Amino acid sequence: MIEVRMAKTAKMIMDTVLEVKPGEKLCIITDTERPPTITKALATAGEMAGAETVIITMSPTGMSGVEPPAVVAAAMEAAAVIINQTSHSMTHTNAQRAATAKGARVCNIRGVNEDMMIRGGVTADYQEVKRISEVLAEIINKGEWVHITTPEGTDLKFSVKGRRGYVLAGYATHPGEFSGLPDGEAACAPLEGTANGVLVNPYLLEDLDVRQDPLRIEIANGLVTKVEGGREAKELNEILEKAGVPGRNIAEFAFGTNPACRITGMSREDKKKLGTAHVAIGDSKSLGGTVESLMHMDIMFLRPTIEVDGKTIVKDGALVLGV
Amino acid sequence: MKITNMAFAANMVVNQILEIQKGETVLIITDTDRPRIITEALAYSAVSAGGDVTVAIMRPQLVGGAEPTSPIAAAMAASQVIINQATYSIVHTDATRTALANGARCANLRNFTEEMMVNGGVTADYYQVKRVSDNLASMLTAADKIRLTTPEGTDLTVYTKGRAAIAQTGFATKPGEFSGLPDGESTLAPLEGRSEGVVVNPYIADLIGLMTEPFRMEISKGRIVKVEGGKQADALVKHLANNDANGYNAAGQFALGTNPACRIMPNTREVSKKLGTAHIAIGDNVSLGGTSNSSFHIDFVFLKPSVYLDDVCILKDGEYLVDLGG
């Protein structure tokens, strides 16, 4: 009966996030590791909104950014509205890019569990999230050099000159727009080749979960050059081995902008929390970058200090800018 | 009903009917009116076979032959193997024709109930069904004259010289092949204009359903000349009068069921495939190699037939007198 408790969020996704209209073709994509209760809540809300709803279940792809099977990609391309309720993000895949190029609107709730459908980030005032995101995106739009430091020793500098700041505030009401829920990011693709520095003991790595062993990632001229540490370092090195040079690309920088998000150990929610920041390695095309890779991995910091062209925007995980 | 009970049928569909290979893209289509446990059993077997399995759930269609919604059609066009577990048949749709033209193999389990996944025709050994069907088809092809009698009074003789029989055995192992389940029959189209006799009280007929009233249909020179009985007979008379003249073609088809696992139940699909039964059809027989093109094809099924091939009895009151090589 937990579906009932998800009704409010499911309805919010249809009515507010996606503005689903009667007769629209809605594809809910899920996989065999996700709770069917969430799928049911979404499908019910989709039918209530009058959408012609199709549920597609696949095997988990294993990692964010990995292309879904051709069968799923074909269904996505024929849909007007897509909800990704799988285990992994498809934001940085050709399948999703082809669908949005044809005008599909996408809501990404990958990795969301039953609790996250009821509490936390999804309950935010998304108008407020949008306002905060727009202010920070504008700072990216106007800024050039971004400098991230953390108490753990991270110290990374890169340029965002000429790169657009994307507002990810949960809305995907226009053709080709995509949203992740819970949402709240001001994000961009740093200029390729400009990032230099080191990431030390980040809080979490996408697909590798909350970090436990020491980890040090060295970055030179926009690429990861060295990864040292324990379990996470070993796994990351294996992934980078497979992904090749494009996987080493510093692909994303983002501010979290959602005040309602909690720290849950689930990247989906944590990385949207206001005051946090993340960078990603791998594919950057969906954020206006030029690198295509089979992977896109977020690396997240809980208490960053972020300066843009010398001005402090976030200090130890708290927004200093009055928004 | 337990999912483990469906494992045999699911494995049969996956491994025998479709021969799903490791790495093939498999699409299982179902709708919100179908039992989810069947979908799970099929998906489980397909994944076990190494298939790259996707399940698509849609709204139930309103009628057989309606096009599925475009995301489903697109997914079908990108699939190597399609299992239709929806409420209605998607055989006669552009979506299926496109998928088959792209080389997909398709099994149709439309409107299957949990019970049908556990008992009956789908639990057959389809290799055995194929052996029996091939053997009976050879016998039918070799015969020039076939006589059908039943305890209820049916006595019909058809002439088949030069007409080859087809074994319909439910396999879809080659690109573009289509299988409807449950299957199993050996069948041919008798020569038009030659059949003589009478059909009395068949068990069931398409359009009419289970025969609950007296029914008598006279056939002369390959045409229906008289239908009498009750309301069921009247319904057929009306249907014949309202359609094309080729609808009077009888018998348009002669067929023997070859599936030992099929049961006697008021479902033409299942009972007409049961080993020991026979059926004839009126109307269209073009897809069987005949020349009668009509807008309909109506089967009449007999439960305990006797069949004589060139006057030699091979089937007596529903029991075979010859070795079927099964």
Q: How far apart are CA B311 and CA B220, in angstroms?
A: 20
Its pTM stands at 0.76
* Predicted local distance difference test score (pLDDT) of residue A323: 56
Q: Does A76 touch chain B (CB under 8 A)?
A: yes
Joined together, the tokens standing for residue B216 give: 């008598």
Tens of pLDDT, residue by residue over B117-158, are: 999 998 898 899 999 999 999 999 999 999 999 999 999 999
Q: β-strand B105-108 against B81-85: which pairing, if any?
A: parallel
pLDDT higher than threshold 90 for residue B173: yes
**pLDDT tops 80 at residue A250:** yes
Residue A103 Cα, gap to closest chain B Cα (Å): 14
- What does the pLDDT look like over B230-276, one tens digit per residue? 999 999 999 999 999 999 999 999 999 999 999 999 888 889 999 99
Distance from CA of A70 to the nearest CA of B (A): 6
Q: Tell me which of A34-38, A89-93, B67-71, B192-196 is least confident.
A: A89-93
Of B303, B302, B304, residue with least CA distance to B317: B304
Nearest to A108 by CA among A184, A50, A32: A184
Shortest CA gap A95–chain B (Å): 13
Any B CB within 8 A of A25 CB: yes
Q: How confident is the model at residue B84 (pLDDT cuts 50, 70, 90)?
A: very high
Long-range contacts, stretch B266-269, CB < 8 angstroms, 24+ apart: B266/B204, B266/B209, B266/B210, B268/B204, B268/B205, B268/B206, B268/B299, B268/B301, B269/B180, B269/B182
The whole-angstrom separation of Cα A118 and Cα A44 is 16
Mark yes or no for CB contact A70/B55 under 8 Å: no
Instruction: Supply the angle between the helices A2-12 and A36-48 in degrees, to the nearest 10.
Output: 50
What single DSSP character describes residue B293? Answer: -
Residues whose CB falls within 8 Å of the CB of residue A18, separated by 6 or more in sequence, listed in order:
A81, A83, A105, A107, A172, A173, A179
With a CB-CB cutoff of 8 Å, which residues 27-86 of chain B face chain A?
A: 27, 43, 47, 52-59, 69-75, 77-79
Residue type, A226: K
For residue A53, what is the nearest residue in chain B, using CA coordinates? B58
The C-alpha atoms of residue A141 and residue B122 are separated, in whole angstroms, by 63
Q: Is B318's pLDDT higher than 60?
A: yes
pLDDT of res. A293:
92
- For residue A258, the number of C-alpha atoms closer than 13 Å in the C-beta half-sphere is 27
Residue-level length of chain B:
326
Residues of A in contact with B43 (CB under 8 A): 57
What integer best gives the mean pLDDT of chain B?
A: 93
What is the distance in angstroms between the Cα of A229 and the nearest Cα belonging to chain B? 36
The predicted-structure confidence for B302-313, as pLDDT tens digits, reads as follows 999 999 999 999
Domain B3-118 matching CATH 3.40.1830.10: the answer reads yes
Residue B80 has pLDDT above 70, yes or no: yes
Interface size A-B, in CB pairs within 8 Å, comes to 69
Q: Who's near B91: CB < 8 A, 6+ residues apart? A: B64, B65, B108, B178, B180
> pLDDT for A281-310, tens place per residue?
999 998 999 999 988 999 999 999 999 999
Contact B69, A23 (CB under 8 A): no
d(CA B179, CA B184): 11
Best CA proximity match to B83, nearest among B153, B160, B4, B15: B15
Q: Is the Cβ pair B72, A53 closer than 8 Å?
A: no
User: What radius of gyration, in Å, describes the C-alpha atoms of chain B?
Assistant: 20
**All residues at 6 or more sequence positions from B194 whose CB lies less than 8 Å from its CB, including other chains:** B158, B159, B221, B222
Check B70 against A71: CB less than 8 A apart. Answer: no
CB within 8 Å of B316: residues ≥ 6 apart: B306
With contacts defined as CB-CB under 8 Å, which chain B residues touch A83? none
Strand segments, DSSP code E, in A51-189 are 52-58, 81-85, 105-108, 145-149, 155-159, 166-168, 178-180, 185-188
Binary contact (A52, B59; C-beta < 8 A): yes
The structural domains of chain A, with segments of one domain joined by +, span 2-118, 125-319
The letter for the amino acid at A298 is D
Q: Which of B162, B198, B168 is nearest to B181 (CA)?
A: B168
Return the half-sphere exposure (C-beta side, CA atoms, 13 A cut-off) of residue B187: 28
Q: How many CB atoms lie within 10 A of CB B173?
A: 12
Fold for A2-118, please state it: Thermophilic metalloprotease-like (3.40.1830)
More confident residue, A11 or B63: A11
pLDDT value at residue A70: 95
Q: What is the mean pLDDT of residues B87-115?
A: 88
- Per-residue pLDDT band at B206 (split at 50, 70, 90): confident
Structure tokens at B283: 């109307």
> Is A58 touching B (CB cutoff 8 A)?
yes
The residue in chain A having the minimum alpha-carbon distance to the alpha carbon of residue B26 is A71
Looking only at the bridges linking them, the beta strands covering B105-108 and B178-180 are parallel
Q: How far apart are CA B173 and CA B178, in angstroms?
A: 9
- The rounded distance, in Å, linking the Cα atoms of B161 and B146 is 10
Other CB atoms within 10 Å distance of the CB of residue B62: 8
Which residues from A are below 8 Å from B52, CB to CB?
59, 69, 71
Beta bridge mates, A306: A148, A314
User: Which residues does chain A have within 8 Å of residue B73's beta carbon, measured at their own beta carbons?
Assistant: 78
* Contact (Cβ atoms closer than 8 angstroms) between residue B23 and residue A69: no
Rounded to an integer, the average pLDDT of B8-12 is 93
Average pLDDT, chain A: 94
pLDDT score, position B297? 85
Please report which confidence band the pLDDT of residue A322 belongs to, taking 50, 70 and 90 as the band edges.
low
Where are chain B's structural domains?
A: 3-118, 124-169+177-320
- A193-196 contacts: CB < 8 A, separation 24 or more? A193/A221, A193/A222, A193/A223, A194/A158, A194/A159, A194/A221, A194/A222, A195/A156, A195/A157, A195/A158, A195/A219, A195/A221, A195/A222, A195/A223, A195/A250, A196/A156, A196/A157, A196/A158, A196/A220, A196/A221
Residues in a beta bridge with A311 = A308
Q: Give tens-digit pLDDT for A21-66.
A: 999 999 999 999 999 999 999 999 999 999 999 999 999 988 888 8
Residue A7, classed as helix, strand or coil, is helix
Least CB–CB distance from B75: residue in A47, A59, A75:
A75
pLDDT over 90 for what percent of chain B? 79
DSSP B50: T
Residue numbers in B near A70 (CB within 8 A): 25, 78
Coil vs helix vs strand at B299 = strand
Q: SS3 of B157, please?
A: strand
End-to-end Cα spacing for chain A: 40
Question: Rounded to an integer, what distance in angstroms lies between the CA atom of residue A87 and that of residue A113?
Answer: 10
> Between chains, do B79 and A71 touch, taking CB under 8 Å as contact?
yes
CB B134 within 8 A of CB B111: no
